[in-house]
Amino acid sequence: MKQILKDIIKNKIEKLLSKQYYCSLKDLNENKIIYSINNNVEQHYIKILAYKNCVVVCTSKNLYTKVQKLLQGKNRDEIFENPFVYGQTIHYVPDCNCTYDMTSLLKCEYESIFDEKILSLKGLTGFENSLAFDKNGFTSTKAVYIAKYCNEIIGVAGASNSSVNGVWEIGVDVIEKYRNAKIATNLVSKLTKQLLLQNIVPFYSASVTNVASQMVANRCAYVPMWVDTFGTILDGSSVYHNIVQNLSLKFIK
């Protein structure tokens, strides 16, 4: 049964990565560098993925040839260190061979809320990683677990649907003064268990610099499955964009 679940997680995650990085499922299981094109963007675009032994470099069409030339002969680490991308995110999936750590150092009340009932939390602030509403009161979060202490919501774990059916991303927030009591661990563990029972594959993401978030993943029996870059300095949205412009780098001309 565990092997079946492990295979389901692998297959769904690979389908997600194939869609996000415009590559084939076969590509993801190769031991080489794959170059692909995102034809849906007009601005300069670079996003890099490391999965198993494969590295996928996805670019806008106008950078495809230039990036290949720039990265020729580079190894995986050198590719991720190229100056046109920044930020690295580790993405985790549940380890089917481990049990979940459901302990907490603070006695809280826990409650699960799904679908339309989540709208009852509209107006709740301070939990932007797990539950955020736009100006129209809409949220992409489809499932949440909340932790209450003395009738106050002090922690939220939320899951939102990805671009592939049956794959949801989990985020978690805990009010600062209640951290280090394993509340985040408890919330993520409970939500993970609930999603898996509904045949939904959850994944959890953490910046390579966010050690506390990585520890939550570890305590919840999550294991790293892929790493990708957060952004590019070439599309004008980054604080680093002006540096590129000032240097007049020939690469983006």
Contacts of 134 (CB under 8 A, 6+ apart): none
Answer yes or no: pTM beyond 0.85. Answer: yes
Reply yes or no on whether the pLDDT at 252 is more than 70: no
Instruction: For the beta carbon of residue 42, count every other beta carbon within 10 angstroms.
Output: 10
Reply yes or no on whether the pLDDT at 163 is more than 90: no
pLDDT digits 0-9 by tens, 219-235: 999 999 999 999 888 87
pLDDT digits 0-9 by tens, 92-112: 999 977 666 566 667 889 999
Per-residue pLDDT band for 1 (boundaries 50, 70, 90) equals: low
Percent of the chain with pLDDT over 70: 90
Percent of the chain with pLDDT over 90: 72
Confidence at residue 248, expressed as pLDDT on a 0 to 100 scale:
43
Alpha-carbon distance 217 to 223, whole Å? 7
Confidence at residue 103, expressed as pLDDT on a 0 to 100 scale:
64
Confidence at residue 158, expressed as pLDDT on a 0 to 100 scale:
97
Residue predicted with more confidence, 240 or 63 = 63
Confidence at residue 184, expressed as pLDDT on a 0 to 100 scale:
94
Per-residue pLDDT band for 43 (boundaries 50, 70, 90) equals: confident
Q: Flag the least confident range among 10-19, 83-92, 100-109, 209-218.
A: 100-109
pLDDT digits 0-9 by tens, 128-152: 999 988 888 888 999 999 999 999 9
pLDDT digits 0-9 by tens, 191-206: 999 999 999 999 999 9
Reply yes or no on whether the pLDDT at 19 is more than 80: yes
Q: Once rounded to an integer, what is the mean pLDDT over residues 205-228? A: 95
